Amino acid sequence: MRKDPIRDPIRSVIRQLEPSGITKVTALGLGNPDVLPLWFGETDLATPPFIRKAAIDALEDGKTFYTNARGILPLREAIRDFHKRTCGADIDVARITIPGAAMLAVVTALQMVCETGDNIVIVSPIWPNIFQAAKVVGAEPRLVRLDENWDTGKWTLDFDKLFDACDDRTRAMFICSPSNPTGWTLTAAEQKTILDFARERGIAIIADEVYGTLVYDCAPHAPSFLSIADDEDAVFAVNSFSKPWAMTGWRIGWLVHPRSVEPAAAAMAQCNNTGSTHFLQYGALAALSPEGDAFRGTLLERCRGGRDVVEEWIRGQNRVRWLRPEGAFYGFLQVDGLTDSLGFAQRMVTDDKVGMAPGWAFSLGDKRDDSYLRLCFAQDPAKLEQALGRLEGAIRKI
Ligand SMILES: Cc1ncc(COP(=O)(O)O)c(C=O)c1O
């Protein structure tokens, strides 16, 4: 019999990780055909046929080998061209790495900038995977919450709060704009203020721009940090094929990093995934074609229609309000009287057969978020209306 205590082989931060609030809800009904699922950040459209065909053709053609771990060159060049034509940013291909999904791009950026004991200042409410990933790399996630401004109808970022949260151990500010879950979108002038502060303090910016082209008033692209940063600014911009091209299941995205980080990015791509799937990269390449641009336009209009459906529904409600999203495809709805968004969202799955994400999931225990629910409106309008009807019924029971 062994007498000495067995040492836990798992790092304590990993041991303490819990499923996110979204997972705690989806666990009750994922795959149940009776449940209308608006809980994930994805449209109900499948990836368009021309993208699927490009991947199938590549597979048939034997594109089944390892590639350069940073991605095939034609795809990196097409990403460079995409940035140029959507937000006017001139990015050298040396700054582009395709590690796998955008989630892996987030992790890669965090791994590159954080040591254990550092902190990362994150604008919230925020997609929970972000603060979970910060914990995984040993950093303390410090959330700075946007403020609701019901008078102007906008979420606002208090720069004093953001900058005051940074100290000597702050290695990066994580900013998702357009935001998941609020749709809040930074202006170029605000980005400049943040970049100036980051430069002065030697703090990196991890800019999550996966919803960059899903914007309603400043198409074709929300203001991007890439348009104002130079090659050597410590800006790490995360992007994804998932959202604008309906490719969430493909797990492919990219990271734009400073020029001189290229060797480290290459090493990280080796360590983390040794590249993304060979034939899928050809599907992604097709997404960046003119046909892909046209699809993005179609999806954006579908999202705009979904946003209108939710707005119209809210007009008929007396207990629900929102700050209308400027970008992304989420409604972050505040429900009067709601104080336990997780329990409520779970009951909605089991009793009302509709899946939404609890506001609770998007912060680290900030009570203000617990009166919110997030739904994805990139959906068929009839389905969306049906889901909102079910939500209305559930709210009546509070
Ligand atoms: C803000 C944000 N960043 C990153 C991602 C990850 O995208 P991907 O599907 O490419 O991993 C998501 C997906 O929901 C997201 O909402």
- Looking at the fold, whether 135 and 117 belong to one and the same domain comes out as yes
Classify residue 1: in a domain, yes or no.
Answer: no
pLDDT band of residue 218 (cuts 50, 70, 90) is confident
Classify residue 222: in a domain, yes or no.
Answer: yes
- Looking at the fold, whether 223 and 333 belong to one and the same domain comes out as no
- Looking at the fold, whether 300 and 252 belong to one and the same domain comes out as no
Cβ–Cβ < 8 Å for 300, 308? no
Out of 242, 267, 289, a domain closes at 289
pLDDT band of residue 113 (cuts 50, 70, 90) is very high
- Looking at the fold, whether 357 and 306 belong to one and the same domain comes out as yes
Q: How many CA atoms lie within 13 A of 327 on its CB side?
A: 26
Ligand 1 centre distance from Cα of residue 35 (Å)? 23
- Looking at the fold, whether 29 and 126 belong to one and the same domain comes out as no
Specify the residue with its C-alpha closest to ligand 1, atom 16. 180
Question: Is the minimum distance from the CB of 102 to ligand 1 under 6 angstroms?
Answer: yes
pLDDT, position 58? 98
> What is the bridge-based pairing of β-strands 235-240 and 204-208?
parallel
Classify residue 24: in a domain, yes or no.
Answer: yes
The pTM of this model reads: 0.96
- Looking at the fold, whether 127 and 189 belong to one and the same domain comes out as yes
Q: Which residue bears the tokens 């104080």?
A: 339
Determine the average pLDDT of the residues in 132-147: 97
The minimum-distance atom of ligand 1 relative to the CA of 179 is 1
Ligand 1 centre distance from Cα of residue 3 (Å)? 46
DSSP 183: -
pLDDT, position 21? 95
Query: What is the count of structural domains for the chain?
Result: 2
Q: Which of 98, 176, 243, 280 for a ligand 1 pocket mutation test, highest count of atoms within 8 Å of Cβ?
A: 243
Q: What's the 3-state SS for 15-79?
A: HCCCCCHHHHHHCCCCCCCCCEECCCCCCCCCCCHHHHHHHHHHHHCCCCCCCCCCCCHHHHHHH
Question: Is the minimum distance from the CB of 327 to ligand 1 under 6 angstroms?
Answer: no
Q: Return d(Cα 297, Cα 213) in angstroms, integer.
A: 9
Out of 272, 289, 306, a domain closes at 289
Classify residue 2: in a domain, yes or no.
Answer: no
Per residue in 220-242, pLDDT (tens digit) is 999 999 999 999 999 999 999 99
Classify residue 128: in a domain, yes or no.
Answer: yes
pLDDT, position 1? 61
pLDDT band of residue 2 (cuts 50, 70, 90) is low
Classify residue 221: in a domain, yes or no.
Answer: yes
Classify residue 6: in a domain, yes or no.
Answer: no
Average pLDDT, the chain: 97
Q: How many CA atoms lie within 13 A of 1 on its CB side?
A: 1
Out of 268, 289, 310, a domain closes at 289
pLDDT band of residue 219 (cuts 50, 70, 90) is confident
- Looking at the fold, whether 120 and 177 belong to one and the same domain comes out as yes
358: left (phi over 0), alpha (psi -120 to 50) or beta: beta
pLDDT band of residue 81 (cuts 50, 70, 90) is very high
- Looking at the fold, whether 73 and 177 belong to one and the same domain comes out as yes
Determine the average pLDDT of the residues in 299-308: 98
Alpha helices in 114-212 (DSSP H): 128-136, 159-164, 188-201
Instruction: Give the other-Cβ count within 10 Å of 160's Cβ.
Output: 8
Per residue in 157-180, pLDDT (tens digit) is 999 999 999 999 999 999 999 999
Q: Which two tokens stand for residue 75?
A: 């795809």
The minimum-distance atom of ligand 1 relative to the CA of 240 is 10
By CB atoms closer than 10 A (0-12, 13-18, 19+), residue 18 is exposed
Classify residue 3: in a domain, yes or no.
Answer: no
CATH number at 309 reads: 3.90.1150.10
Q: What is the span of the domain harbouring residue 122?
A: 49-289
Over 90: is that where the pLDDT of 4 sits? no
Q: Which amino acid appears at position 11 of this protein? A: R
Question: Is the minimum distance from the CB of 240 to ligand 1 under 6 angstroms?
Answer: yes
Q: Return d(Cα 349, Cα 364) in angstroms, integer.
A: 23
Per residue in 317-370, pLDDT (tens digit) is 999 999 999 999 999 999 999 999 999 999 999 999 999 999 999 999 999 999
- Looking at the fold, whether 149 and 43 belong to one and the same domain comes out as no
**Alpha carbon of 213 to those of 224, 251, 256, 276, 280: distances in Å?**
10, 18, 16, 23, 21
Q: Return d(Cα 228, Cα 217) in angstroms, integer.
A: 20
pLDDT band of residue 276 (cuts 50, 70, 90) is very high
CATH number at 268 reads: 3.40.640.10
- Looking at the fold, whether 177 and 248 belong to one and the same domain comes out as yes
- Looking at the fold, whether 98 and 198 belong to one and the same domain comes out as yes
Cβ–Cβ < 8 Å for 236, 207? yes
Above pLDDT 90, what percent of the chain? 97
- Looking at the fold, whether 64 and 203 belong to one and the same domain comes out as yes
